[in-house]
Amino acid sequence: MKLKIILVEDDPDLGMVLKQYLEFSDFEVVWITHPEEILKNKKMIDGYQLAILDVMLPGIDGFELSKEIRKTSDIPFLFLTAKSQSIDRILGLKLGADDYITKPCEPEELILRIKNILRRQNHIKEDIIKIGYYSFVPEQFRLIYQDHAIQLTEKESELLLLLSKNNRRIINRKEILETLWGENDYFLGRSLDVFMTRLRKYFQHDERITLDSVRGVGFKVEFPDNRS
């Protein structure tokens, strides 16, 4: 079952982009452009797991809207605003916001913040992938060996997640490039080789893990795994 988010954003372009990106990230989203819709029917947020509130809204700002929501609901909410002054951030947190992000924001960052909130609310469980003696936490871009944590880059994490889904098979280089970068390009291919070299180094403590190049095709991935 998809987790449900209510988005209150009056900017039509930003609202559409956020709605599409959230839905692409497997959330169910209701997008509202006028806060009066919630004020007239506060029960409409029942059943939702999170509210994203733009601060600069017509008629009533996001801060005041959050106060009204809190009278009847304990739904977690995140403020989305162009304001960056610390006083606004402090005010938002004092009003009970679970997080606060300024515009323009990277959609990936917004998704991570949302998932962190929902994880704290026990709506989602952190996904941990066992790769041999290692534990891979995709949401945190972390690879853990014993008591040592390796902080991966976003692309390293995306690549490792793709490889973990293709264990014990040959995965085509073109497929990797188009999945991670959206195109099959020579220079991106060189970057892919660099990332694969890094991953091999990260996994040096478990000789059962192999990331072998298959000339003219791609890579053969093999490791003992156990998703938990």
Expressed as residue numbers, the domain containing 180 is: 129-227
Domain identity same for 101 and 20: yes
pLDDT tens for each residue of 154-205: 889 999 999 988 888 899 999 999 888 888 888 888 899 999 999 999 999 9
State the residue for tokens 């995306």: 158
Domain identity same for 106 and 164: no
Residue 91 has pLDDT above 70, yes or no: no
Q: Is the whole-model pTM more than 0.75?
A: no
Domain identity same for 14 and 77: yes
**What CATH number has the domain bearing residue 70?**
3.40.50.2300
Domain identity same for 206 and 135: yes
Amino acid present at 219: F
Tell me the C-alpha distance between 149 and 171, whole Å.
Answer: 27
Do 168 and 221 meet the contact criterion of CB atoms below 8 Å apart? Answer: yes
Tell me the C-alpha distance between 202 and 220, whole Å.
Answer: 17
**What CATH number has the domain bearing residue 139?**
1.10.10.10
pLDDT tens for each residue of 36-51: 888 888 778 888 888 8
At 226, the pLDDT band (50, 70, 90 cuts) reads low
**pLDDT recorded at residue 94:** 59
**pLDDT recorded at residue 76:** 87
